[in-house]
Amino acid sequence: MKAVIMAGGFGTRIQPLTSSVPKPMIPLFNRPIMLHIVELLKKHDITDLVMLLYHQPEIIKKFFRDGSDFGVKITYVTPLGDMGTAGAVKAAEKYLDERFLVISGDLLTDFNLKKVLDFHADNKAMATITLTSVKDPLQFGVVITDKEKRITQFLEKPGWGEVISDTINTGIYVLEPEIFNYIPAGENFDFSQDLFPLMLQNKDPLFGYASKGYWRDIGNTDSYREAHHDIFKGKVNLKIDEEKQDFVGKDLRIGTDVTLEEPSGLSGTVVIGDNSQIRGEVQIKDSVIGRNCTIEAGVKLNRCVLWDNTYVKKGAKITDSVLCANVRVGQSAVLEEAVIVADDTSIGDEVHIKTDVKIWPRKLIESGSIVTANLIWGEKWKKSLFEGAIIKGLSNVELTPEFVAKLGCAYGTMLPKGSFVLGGRDANRSSRMLNRCFVGGLLSAGVNVRDMTMTCLPVIRYKLKTFGEVGGFHFRQAADDPASMEIVFLDGDGLDFSSNMAKNAERIFFKENFRRAHHTEPGALNDIPQVVEFYREGFLRALNTDTIRKAGWTVVIDFNFSPASQILPRLLNELGCNVVALNAYVDEGKGGVVAKPKEGALEQLAAIVGSLKAQAGFWLDPTAESITLVDETGQRYEGARLLALVTALTLKSDQRGSLAVPVQAPSTIEQMALAKKSAVIRTKSSDRAMLEAASTSEVILAGTIDGRFAFSRFQAAFDGMFAIARLIELSAALSLPFSRVLADAPERVFLQTITPCPFEMKGGIMRKMSEDSLDKEASFIDGIKVQFGHDWALVLPDQYSSFVHIFAEAKDEKTAGKLLQEYQKKVERWKKELE
């Protein structure tokens, strides 16, 4: 007697369990599902097997080989394509010249196959379908038989109105070789859809045998977990490799070389695979633990399945979940019911994964994270949604429509019902799509939205500082990654979200404690006209327009396809400037991404400035917040050098007040300010800290080392468009070309670098930095800054990435480089000491 085992399916419905193994090889009580089928066939003296493979066949072949290790003979057949169930069996026709049985390799059953075979022979059937009764027949093919058990009708996945029986097709067939006459070679042909209806039409001897016993189609992750539950309850007769132990009141099955320090916390049926370690007191009930696993003290497992090489640290609590191979679960992590974690995933300490979440392979869940949605394509789930005031993620992968709609609802829940928020986006299509989803979430929370559609972030900030709205948001493509999207969250003053506001939004999002407006009270969505005109009026009012008009400058500006190209040229033309605009149109396909490398763009900009004899050229980044300057000689100003130039020009003007710069800015700022008797306010490196300083009455300029400037006479926000106009005004008023502004500035060398540093080491690195600085002059505004006379070095951990920033300034490049290298080596040495 021969049997054909169908083992070629892709296992799509049961993902992510099939991410690294084909569905028949998924472990069930530490043995592949298909091995249980092989054992069932062998039990009924069916030992000549044909395995039909298709998806990942090498894994199955490597495990079963020729079958001799399992007391059977195996012949492998791999169809050339997806030919359907009957078509696949047709590919093995030459091996099937006698009566044979067909069974799926991903079923769990203990049917008495001998009774099926005897029934088939007694009725001289050409085909016998094994039937069983189920509570919910809607997802299966219902089979109707007459009194002689001859099949009279098939109902494929009927509705309740069509159901006249609960007897379904189990996918186990006994067939005579004559059936091959009906199956065309090389074509897609299915048993249920094609062969059996054809046999019924031809009135061939087609019978159904209602078998007694257990049967389950393991088609998805729920049925996989439920199959284990049924085994725990003793509903199915199944062979278990691990030896049963003699503990009163416990059904313990323990493999070889297992360390079990304290068995008292084990209850129900517990299976522990070879070479696994259960250390200390644990609570484990009705669970299967694979081979080479480690379970630390204080762990609680209830109805769990752990595949091989899984490590669960102290105090973790996991309920009714599946951990695939090579999964690491951190200390005190909590996995609620029905969580599926695929292979090679690392879950950090104190992570909380909500019910029904599925995590695909090779993911990193940061410590302290709360995971509320499936993690499929992104590499990691971060502990915090926000990086400052920004949420960033891969468009339509991490920032999906449903995810963003929930974000909008969380934001709306923070705000008073019936209040207004102001929103906008860049030109990118994904920005438009996700913006609409976000707006839907806000409206569902009873918050009204004034949508500016495509616009620049500085324009939104300017409108928010007036009145009418309690907050704002802006969607834009990330400049450093065209596949990623950024959502910028703003408060009612146009400032970036504070850390408390971000935490409040995260708390609502993760707890899903959303406010749902009554069906009569959702928010309203309105356009808001004339905002650009409002911006224009304030823009011109903050400048000495006569000075700019008299100068009559020619300027070249690369707009990077930003919406700013629809605003700034008109304003500068109104001020009497001749504007040569590059990349000055909006392109949905390009959106906010820099169309070409910045280096090449700046070279082109310098060449055009020189050929036109223009007074200056500006490179405006896609957000319209940051600029780079090219002077009339083609020299470039960016980073710390641009900050020095803007500071010098501001100090040479008639305006008096303080300057705000971040802790990492060069000390030349203080030296220039001292000469003009102006004060310098050092802030933390965050944007929020900078803009809060810019909002104070005494600050006239806040500037960063990445080309962003806030001139408080217009708005306390980074605005690249106004920065361009203000620099033209300052240079024209002084009749001082940009190339001569820094002629009398102190000469210092400013260097910076980054070095990788895991988050868990940052605290240790800063402790060692603090200890190293005990006998030195140091400041602790943000990071640790050490003074060496006029020279200094700063070690500043990145708040959102696994890096440490190192800055150094000195009188010459050699000294600055030596200082930078010294602290870089120290950080590397401290990392090794902390490993």
Q: Where does 394-526 sit in CATH, by number?
A: 3.40.120.10
- The token duo for 237 is 């007769």
Residue 128, beta-bridge partner list: 174, 207
Cβ atoms of 662 and 706 within 8 Å: the answer is no
Task: Produce one character per residue of 429-467: b if its CB has 16 or more CB atoms within 10 Å, e if not.
Answer: ebbbbbbbbbbbbbbbbbbbbbbbebbbbbbbbbbbeee
Q: Where does 749-834 sit in CATH, by number?
A: 3.30.310.50
Residue 381: what pLDDT?
A: 67
For residues 825 and 755, what is the distance between their CA atoms, to the nearest angstrom? Answer: 10
96 HSE (CA, 13 A, CB side): 28
Cβ atoms of 143 and 197 within 8 Å: the answer is no
Question: Beta strands 266-272 and 283-289: pairing type?
Answer: parallel
Cβ atoms of 438 and 487 within 8 Å: the answer is yes
Q: Which amino acid is at 566?
A: Q
Q: Where does 534-740 sit in CATH, by number?
A: 3.40.120.10
Residue stretches of the chain with pLDDT short of 70: 156-165, 246-249, 377-382, 589-596
Spans of all domains in the chain: 2-217, 240-381, 394-526, 534-740, 749-834
Strand ranges, E, within 31-90? 31-32, 48-53, 73-77
For residues 519 and 504, what is the distance between their CA atoms, to the nearest angstrom? Answer: 26
Handedness of CA 818, 821, 825, 831 (dihedral sign): positive
For residues 636 and 616, what is the distance between their CA atoms, to the nearest angstrom? Answer: 10
Give the relative orientation of helices 499-511 and 401-414 as an angle to the nearest 10 degrees.
120
For residues 242 and 253, what is the distance between their CA atoms, to the nearest angstrom? Answer: 5
Number of neighbours of residue 24 by Cβ within 10 angstroms: 31
Domain 240-381 of CATH type 2.160.10.10: yes
Prior bond to 16 cis, omega within 30? yes
Task: Produce one character per residue of 577-593: b if its CB has 16 or more CB atoms within 10 Å, e if not.
Answer: bebbebbbebeeebbbb
Residue 81: what pLDDT?
A: 81
Give the CA-trace dihedral at 391, 395, 399, 404, to 10 degrees: 90
Residue 82: what pLDDT?
A: 80
Residue 378: what pLDDT?
A: 63
pTM for the structure as a whole: 0.72
Q: How far is CA 738 from CA 28, 316, 436, 629, in A?
A: 74, 62, 44, 9
Question: Beta strands 167-175 and 100-104: pairing type?
Answer: antiparallel
Asked, colleague to colleague, whether 2-217 and 240-381 share their fold, the answer is no
Residue 595: what pLDDT?
A: 43
For residues 491 and 475, what is the distance between their CA atoms, to the nearest angstrom? Answer: 15
Number of neighbours of residue 148 by Cβ within 10 angstroms: 8
Could you give the 3-state DSSP secondary structure of residue 437? helix
Q: How far is CA 654 from CA 138, 174, 676, in A?
A: 82, 98, 11
Cβ atoms of 724 and 568 within 8 Å: the answer is yes
Residue 67: what pLDDT?
A: 96
Residue 596: what pLDDT?
A: 54
Instruction: Write out pLDDT tens, residues 98-132.
Output: 999 999 999 999 999 999 999 999 999 999 999 99
Domain 2-217: homologous superfamily in CATH: Spore Coat Polysaccharide Biosynthesis Protein SpsA; Chain A (3.90.550.10)
